[in-house]
Amino acid sequence: MRRALGIDLGTTHSLVAFVDDRNRARVLDLDGSGPLVPSAVRYAASRIDVGAGARDAAASAPGEVVLSVKRLMGDGARRLHVGAAGPAGREVTPIEVSAEILRALRARAEAAFGAGELGGCVVTVPAYFDDAQRAATRDAARLAGLELLRLVAEPTAAALAFGLDARREGTFAVYDLGGGTFDLSILRLEAGVFHVLATAGDTRLGGDDLDAALADRLGLPGDPATLLAARAIREALTDRDAWEGVLPGGARARVSRAELEEAIAPVVARTLGPARRALADAGLEPSALDGVVLVGGATRTPLVRREVRALFGRAPLTDVDPDTAVALGAAIQADALERGGRDDLLLLDVVPLTLGVETMGGVVEPIVPRNSTIPARATQEFTTHADGQTGIVVHVVQGERELAADCRSVARFTLRGIPPMPAGAARVEIAYDVDADGILHVTARERTTGVGQEVHVRPTSGLTEEEVERMLVESVLRAEDDVEARALAEGRLEAAQVLAALEAGLREDAGALEPGEREAIVQRMAGVRAAAEGTDPYALRAWLSSLDEAAKGFAERRASVHLARAFQGKTVEEI
Amino acid sequence: MTDPFAALGLPRAQALDLADLDRRLRERAREVHPDRFSRAPAPERARAAAASAALHAAHRALKDPLARAEALLALAGRSVQGARPAPEFLEAQLAAREAIARGDGADARESARVALAGCERKLAELLAPGAGVAALDGAVAALVEARFHASLLRAAGDPPATPRPGQDR
C-alpha cells in the first residue's frame, strides 16, 4: 500500500511522519540528524536549499534566506525579494516559499520510501488560521506536487497522537505554542471521536516573539541571525539558571533565567486571553477538564509551564513530545484517509472565526458563527435594490468585530447574470459552505424563475470603487430563516419612515409642540438613528417604542391641526 | 423546515441533556462525515459533505436553548416574527442599555441574567411534551423576551451563555 504522510509545516521547523507496517505512527529522520528540518529556504545563485544549511546561511547571506515564512501566509499581496539585490534577484510569494519547503520534505520522503510509494498527505495548520491562510497552505501543497487529503488543525492532530493509542477519554485542553503561532483547543475525546468544542488563538504569537523580546532586552537588533542566537539562549535556560557566552556582535554576556522571564512575561501573558475565551466558548470551568496537553517547542520554557499550571489549576500532562505530536497525529489521519476512513477514528473540527457578510453601513451580518462544526453550510437570500440591476457584490469577512472594516476580508464576490427585473424582485440565494479543511466556497442561484439558474461567482477585480459601491448589497431582505435579520430590516424601514415624518413635522408644525417636547423627541430620534445603523434589532425596537411614546402627544395635536386646516380649506372652496 | 430533533433522534422537547446531544452528534457523524468517504467517488463525497453539514446545523439549532425553542415553535407552526413585547418591557430594556452604555450596568446585567434564566425555565415548561397548544402563546412571549435579554448581555460583552455540558436543562 502507498505510504501516506503527515506533514507538520511549522514556522521554525517542519516534520514528516508516517504510519509503519505495525500500525504505529513514526517520524521520519529526514537528513540523518533527526526529524526536525528548519523551515528555512535559501535562494542561492544556482540552486534552492531548504533546511539547516539554509538556516545557517541567514547570518552570512541574509538577502538569500527566508525564515518564518509561515507568518506571511495568506497575505496575498506579499512579495519577497530573494537572491542577489536588484534585478538579478527575484520576487517570490509566501506560497512559493512554503512550496519549496514542502517539495524538499517530499523529496526526502521519496528517498526514504521510493518515488512511487508515496500516497496522499495531511498538512497541518494552526487552528486559528483563517480562510486565506488555509487556502494559501492548500495551494502551497498543490504547488509542491503533493496530493493533499486534508488540512488538519495542529492542536487537533496533537490530540490524536495523544489520545488514540492510549484510548484516552474525557475533556482536554491542548495548549499549542509553536514557533510563530498560538492555539488553544478544547476537545472531547470519546469512543474514538476527537470532537473540538472550541478553539481560540493568535496566529502572530509564538517562540519567535519570545526570542524577539529577549533580543530587545539585551539591546540587540531583531535580524534573523540575532533571533536564532536569542533562541539558543532561551533554550539553554530551560534546564539551567544562567547562560554565559558571546552575543552576536562579539560582546560577552551573562543572562539569568530570571532576566529571561522578565523579558518574555508580557508575551506569555498574551496566551491567557485566548485560553480563557476558548474555555468560555466551550462553557467549561478549568476544573471540568481532565487534563492539559502541551504542544510546540516553546512550551518547554519553564515560565510557560508555570503560567499554564496557574491558569488551569493543574500540572500539564508530560507524556507527549511537544515537537513531534502534531506530525504523528497528522500521519494517523493521513493513513486513515488514504484507506478510505477508519471505523474507530473521527476528527470533528470547527471553524475558528465567525464568517459574515458586509451589509448596510459596513456592519457585519454573521453567517457561520465561530466554533461551528465543519463541514458547515449556511444560506442567505438577497435581492436587488435598483431596477434592472444584474449584478450583486457580496463582501465576505472573517472575524469577531462588528464592522467589516475591522475584520479580515475573505473575498468580494460579484454575482452576475441576474435577469433584469424591477428592484426587489430578484431572489438570489447564496450558499456558504465551509468544507472539512475549513475553507469557504460560495455558490449562488437566482430563484425567481424557479429554474435555479446558477449565478457566476467570482472574485471582484477590475471593478471601480463606484461600481462596487453601487452593487454592494445594502441590506439582507426576505431571509425567511433568519428572524433577527428580518426584524432588523423591518425596524430599519420603520425607522426611516418615522424619522422622515417627524423631521417634517418638527419643521412644519413646530407650533403644535409643548415646552420640552422637542428635546425629548429629538433625543430619541438620535437614538433611533444610531440603533438603525447598528445590527441589533432588539435595541432598535426599544428605541422605536420609546420614540413613539415621546411623540404620541405631538402626533395627535398635529393631526387635529391638519384636520382643522382641511375643514377650513373646504369651507373656503365652498365659498 | 427540517426537524433538527429528528436529525439527532431526540423527542421534541425544550428540556435536553447537552452531554447526550453531543454524544448523539458524534455517533451520527461517524456515519456521514466526509472522512468516512475519502476514497469514494465524487458524488458520494459531495453527499457526505451535505449530510454532514445538515447534521451539524441541526446540532447548532439544538445546542442553544433559544434556537431550540424557536425550532420547536416553528415545528408547531408558530413564528416569532412580528411578536413584540409590551411597551413597558421595552422601556425597561432601554433604561438597562443606557445604564450599560454609561458604564454602571452591573445591576442591569445581573437582572438580565436572572430574567434570561427565568425565560428559559418558562420555555422548558411551556414547550414540554404534552404542554398543549394553549401554552404556545406564552412560549412565544417568553422567547421574544429572552432574546432581548440575551441581546443585552451580548451588547454588554458578557461571555456567551453557553450551558455546561452534562447540565440537564
Query: Residues 138-157, chain B: which have Cβ within 8 Å of A?
Result: 147-148, 151-152, 155
Rounded to the nearest integer, the mean pLDDT of chain A is 86
A283 part of contact set with chain B, CB < 8 Å: yes
Q: Give the phi and the psi of residue A314 in degrees, each rounded to 5.
A: -160, 155
Nearest CB partner across the interface for B164, out of A190, A284, A536:
A284
Find how far residue A357's CA is from the centre of its chain. 15
Q: Residue A244: CB partners within 8 Å, gap ≥ 6?
A: A252, A253, A254, A255
Placement of cell 471601480 in the chain: A464
Check CB contact under 8 Å for B33 and A348.
yes
Domain B4-75: CATH superfamily, name plus number: DnaJ domain (1.10.287.110)
How many CB atoms are closer than 10 A to CB B86? 11
**pLDDT (0 to 100) of residue A564:** 61
What is the per-residue pLDDT across A415-437, written as a single tens digit (0 to 9) for each? 777 777 777 777 888 888 999 99
> Is residue A344 exposed (0-12), middle (13-18) or buried (19+ Cβ within 10 Å)?
exposed
Neighbours of A515 (CB within 10 A): 6
Within 8 A by CB and 6+ apart from A204, the residues are A71, A180, A181
Please classify residue A285 by burial: count the beta carbons closer than 10 Å to its beta carbon, then call 0-12 exposed, 13-18 middle and 19+ buried.
exposed
Determine the residue among A545, A548, A549, A552 to mutate to test chain B binding: the one whose Cβ has the most chain B Cβ atoms within 10 Å: A545
Is-contact A475 A360, C-beta < 8 A?
yes
Confidence grade of residue B133 (pLDDT, cut at 50, 70, 90): confident
Q: How many angstroms separate the CA atoms of B66 and B144, rounded?
A: 9
Neighbours of A512 (CB within 10 A): 19
Query: Which set of grid coordinates corresponds to residue B158?
Result: 458578557
Residues of B in contact with A484 (CB under 8 A): 147
Q: How far is CA A315 from CA A262, A279, A391, B89, in A?
A: 22, 17, 57, 49
CATH annotation of A483-574: 1.20.1270.10
Helix (H) or strand (E) holding A47: none
* A344 contacts on B by Cβ (under 8 Å): none
| Inter-helix orientation angle A207-217/A224-236, to 10° | 100
Say which of B25, B90, B159 has its CB closest to residue A542.
B90
What average pLDDT does the structure give for chain B?
87
A174-210 pLDDT, tens digit each: 999 999 999 999 999 999 999 999 999 999 999 999 9
Residue of B nearest to A151 (CA): B35
pLDDT at A558 exceeding the cut of 90: no
For the four alpha carbons of A414, A415, A420 and A426, in that order, the dihedral sign comes to: negative
Q: Is the pLDDT of residue B152 over 90?
A: no
CB contact under 8 A, A346 and B26: yes
Please report, for chain B, the start and end positions of each structural domain, with discontinuous segments joined by +.
4-75, 87-155
Q: What length is written for chain A? A: 575
The phi, psi pair for A451, rounded to 5°, reads -90, -20
Q: Which of A154, A349, A437, A482 is catalytic?
A: A154
pLDDT of residue A465: 44
pLDDT given at position B80: 82
Q: Which of A49, A70, A130, A335 is catalytic?
A: A70
Closest CA to A14 of A40, A47, A39, A46: A39
pLDDT at A482: 52
Indicate the length of chain B as a whole number.
169
Residues A429, A423: Cα–Cα separation, whole Å? 16
CA B104, B106, B109, B110 torsion-angle sign: negative
Going by pLDDT thresholds of 50, 70 and 90, the confidence category of residue B75 is very high
**pLDDT score at A40:** 95
What is the number of H-type helices and E-type strands within chain B? 7, 0
pLDDT recorded at residue A106: 94
- How would residue A562 be classed by pLDDT, with cut points 50, 70 and 90? low
Cell numbers of B34, please?
466526509
Please say if A552 is a catalytic residue. no
Cβ neighbours around B5 below 10 Å, total: 19
Q: What is the DSSP code (8-state) at residue B86?
A: -
- State how far the Cα of A470 lies from the Cα of A374, in Å rounded to an integer: 34
Q: How many helices (H) and strands (E) does chain A have?
A: 14, 26
Instruction: Report the residue of chain A nearest B155, measured CA to CA.
Output: A536
Average the pLDDT over A449-472 and give the result.
46
What stretch(es) of chain A map to CATH 3.30.420.40? 3-205+270-348
Check if B101 contacts A (Cβ < 8 Å): no
Say how many CB pairs under 8 Å bridge A and B: 134
Confidence of residue A248 (pLDDT cuts 50, 70, 90): confident
Can you give the pLDDT at residue A573? 37
What does DSSP say about strands A428-434 and A440-446: parallel, antiparallel, or unpaired? antiparallel
Written as one letter, the residue type at A350 is V
Q: CATH code for A355-471?
A: 2.60.34.10
* Contact B44/A at CB under 8 A: no
Question: Which has more confidence, A26 or A470?
Answer: A26
Indicate if A70 belongs to the active site: yes
d(CA A232, CA A234): 6
> H helices of A295-405, where?
302-312, 325-338
pLDDT score, position A489: 75
Stretch 1-20 of chain B: residues touching chain A, C-beta under 8 Å: 1
- Shortest Cα distance, chain B CAs vs residue A148, angstroms: 11
CB A83 within 8 A of CB A89: yes
Q: What are phi and psi of A119, to 5 degrees?
A: -100, -150
- Does B49 sit within 8 Å of A436, measured CB to CB? yes
CA distance A230 to chain B (A): 38
| d(CA A235, nearest CA chain B) in Å | 37
DSSP 8-class letter at A317 = B
List, for residues A133-148, the tens digit of each pLDDT value. 998 999 899 889 899 9
Tell me: the pLDDT tens digits for A79-88?
888 877 666 7
Catalytic residue check, A154 = yes
Question: Which CATH superfamily is A3-205+270-348 part of?
Answer: ATPase, nucleotide binding domain (3.30.420.40)
- Would you call A374 an interface residue with chain B, using a CB distance cutoff of 8 Å? yes
For residue A538, what is the nearest residue in chain B, using CA coordinates? B148
| Chain B residue numbers touching A277 (CB-CB < 8 A) | 159
pLDDT recorded at residue A479: 36
Q: To which residue does cell 458586509 refer? A: A358
B109 vs A: CB within 8 A: no
Catalytic residue flag (residue A454) = no
Contact A41, A52 (CB under 8 A): no
Separation CA A495–CA A492 (nearest Å): 5
The Cα–Cα gap between A494 and A478 comes to 16
- Please say whether the beta carbons of B153 and B116 come within 8 A: yes
DSSP of A516-570? THHHHHHHHHHHHHHHHHSS-HHHHHHHHHHHHHHHHHHHHHHHHHHHHHHHHHH
Quick check: A475 pLDDT over 60? no
The helix/strand/coil state of A241 is coil
How far is A558 from A420, CA to CA, in rounded Å? 43
Nearest to B22 among A188, A340, A538 (CB): A188
* CA–CA gap between residue A207 and residue A268 (Å, rounded): 10
pLDDT at residue A471, as a whole number: 40
- pLDDT, one tens digit per residue, over A495-541 is 888 898 888 888 888 888 888 889 889 989 999 998 888 878 888 88
- The DSSP element (H or E) to which A350 belongs, if any, is none
ipTM: 0.86
User: Within chain A, which residue ranges are assigned CATH 1.20.1270.10?
Assistant: 483-574
Question: What 3-state DSSP class applies to A421?
Answer: coil
Indicate if the pLDDT at residue B159 is higher than 80: no
Question: Buried b / exposed e across A353-365, counting CB within 10 Å, b at 16+?
Answer: bbbbbbbbeebbb
